Amino acid sequence: MALSAVVGLEVVLRKVFSMSLQGADELGGYAVALAAAFGFGWTLLERAHTRIDLLTTKLPLAVRRLLNVAALAAIAIFATFMAWRGWTTLLESIEYKSLSGTPLMTPLWWPQSLWVVGLLFFALVALACLGHALWLMVHDHSSLDRWYGPRSLAEELEEERRSIAERSGHRDRR
């Protein structure tokens, strides 16, 4: 919320007074990078990453299970790669004492350190989910879709109904 207020003030100051707070866009970029890095893991846990299941719903259940595990493996590989590249970028920024190219001249290792923690969180969540999915394939394959398959339309509708009910409940209590 504070960042939104600062960016809003920045827009007004630039438009009306032709002046700038210098750095609001830089801080906004860091906030977006951190939110995305940590959000990737949470989104995976919520089964909310975009999945196009137009054809997979017509495949046999065993094939769908294999595809769900393959999708998790791809995400885990990609998340691990992102964390590794984030780590090497952080090390380079520390080695070269890199600063942002803005008036704030932020030492880049500050925001990058938090960003790498978010990427590591994503990689660990993805690897844990992959391990769990592989375990389910061997020990309880019938629940694999419930844990790692794309959410069904019924599940998404139920989630929306709960969300509406919660919002209505908050309004009633005011």
Per-domain boundaries in the chain: 2-15+24-165
Whole-angstrom Cα distance, residue 78 to residue 66? 18
- What percentage of the chain carries pLDDT values higher than 90? 57
- Residue 108, pLDDT > 80, answer yes
Buried b (16+ CB within 10 A) or exposed e, 33-66: beeebbbbbeebeeeeeeeeeeeeeeeeeeebbe
Cβ count near 133 (within 10 Å): 21
pLDDT of amino acid 8 = 87
- Residue 127, pLDDT > 90, answer yes
pLDDT of amino acid 148 = 92
- Residue 173, pLDDT > 60, answer no
How much is the average pLDDT of 31-56? 90
Contact 147, 133 (CB under 8 A): yes
Token pair listed for 142? 């019938």
- Residue 87 backbone dihedrals phi, psi, to 5 degrees: -65, -45
How much is the average pLDDT of 73-82? 98
Judged on CB neighbours under 10 Å (0-12, 13-18, 19+), 119 is: buried
Q: Which region among 35-49, 78-92, 113-127, 160-174 has the lowest average model confidence (pLDDT)?
A: 160-174
pLDDT of amino acid 174 = 53
Distance of CA 118 to the CA centre of its chain: 9
| Of 121 and 50, more confident | 121
Q: What is the pTM of this model?
A: 0.84
Per the prediction, the chain carries an average pLDDT of 91
Whole-angstrom Cα distance, residue 163 to residue 154? 14
